[in-house]
Amino acid sequence: MADVKVAPPAGPPDPPPPVDLPVPAAIAGLQSAMPGAVLALSFFVGDWTVIVDRAAILDVARYLRTASGAAFDICSDVTATDWPPRPERFDVIYCLFSTTHGQRLRVKARVADGDPIDSVTSVWPAANWLEREVFDMFGIRFSGHPDLRRILMPDEWQGHPQRKDYPLEGPGELLLENPLDWLKLRQARDEADIE
């Protein structure tokens, strides 16, 4: 797929909802309850997205989980997207579903490299492993997470593979310059464990 290199996009388009489309009650409620938290709304191919302030994410989550008009009791997914040219390069995305209202909502927060974001595990315990995966793959730290470790990659791995500046073929010689050294290191550590 050697197609022509184009400049990397600076961010998602996040098209605003059409003016004549009624905003769902849950989003309207969120906007009125926490006016400062919601930065923008987006609507695309039938999916509603709320872009919120990073600092307010835990409050937003708590509201969406508990408010009767929202009651998003399922946290389907927590993931992230990397937009390197943007100053706040990461989008952390929460896919929610409400079993009472049968509707979906995506919540997005922008995070700069190195900045932490509050963990929502206290609201949705399901987010535990999902946030670990985001940490593992993107290096976004979740403050207040009970057990923030790598999950898919080995513990001693360097770098975060899903970032756009991470090469597809892996770190190559950078990490495994001499695999034997690495093996020895590991063996020594294991033996120390046994003793």
Partner 1 sequence: MFDTDELVINMGPQHPSTHGVLRVVLRLDGEKVVDADVVIGYLHRGVEKLSESRSWAQIVLLTDRLDYVSAATSNVGYCETVEKLMAIEVPRRAKYLRVILSELQRIASHLLWLGTHAMDTGAMTVFLYAFRERELILDLFEEYCGARLTYNSMRIGGLPQDLPPSWDRKVLEFCRIMEGKLEEYETLLTGNRIWLARTKGVGVIDGAEALALGLSGPPLRGSGVRRDVRKDEPYAAYDEMEFDVPLGVAGDTFDRYAVRMQEFRQSIRIIRQAMQGIPEGPILGKVPRLIKPPAGEVYHAIESPKGELGFFIVSDGKSTSPYRFRVRPPSFCNLQALPRLVKGHLIADVVALIGSLDVVLGEVDR
Q: Which of 27, 38, 49, 89 touches partner 1 by CB under 8 A?
A: 49
- Site mask, partner 1, residues 124-143, x = CB under 8 A? xxxxxxx--x---x------
Q: Which of 1, 19, 192, 194 touches partner 1 by CB under 8 A?
A: 1
Q: Which of 33, 153, 159, 171 touches partner 1 by CB under 8 A?
A: 153
| Nearest to partner 1 of 31, 76 (CB atom) | 76
Q: CA angle, 80 as apex, 76 and 82 as ends, to 5°? A: 160
Say which residue the tokens 């929610």 belong to. Answer: 96
- The C-alpha atoms of residue 54 and residue 177 are separated, in whole angstroms, by 39
Window 75-114: residues binding partner 1 (CB under 8 A): 75-77, 79, 81-82, 93, 95, 97, 99, 102, 104, 106
Phi/psi of residue 118, each to 5°? -65, 140
CA dihedral over 182, 185, 191, 194, signed as positive or negative: negative
Q: How many residues bind partner 1 (CB under 8 A)?
A: 46
Residue 13 touches partner 1, criterion: CB under 8 A: yes
Q: Which of 34, 39, 44, 116 touches partner 1 by CB under 8 A?
A: 44
3-state SS, residue 56: helix
Phi/psi of residue 30, each to 5°? -60, -45
| Nearest to partner 1 of 33, 153 (CB atom) | 153
Pair 39, 55: CB distance under 8 Å: no
The least CB distance from residue 140 to partner 1, in Å, is 14
Nearest to 119 by CA among 165, 61, 70, 32: 61
- The C-alpha atoms of residue 27 and residue 176 are separated, in whole angstroms, by 49
User: What does the binding site for partner 1 look like in residue numbers (CB under 8 A)?
Assistant: 1, 3, 6, 9, 12-15, 44-47, 49, 73-77, 79, 81-82, 93, 95, 97, 99, 102, 104, 106, 124-130, 133, 137, 150-154, 161-162, 166, 168
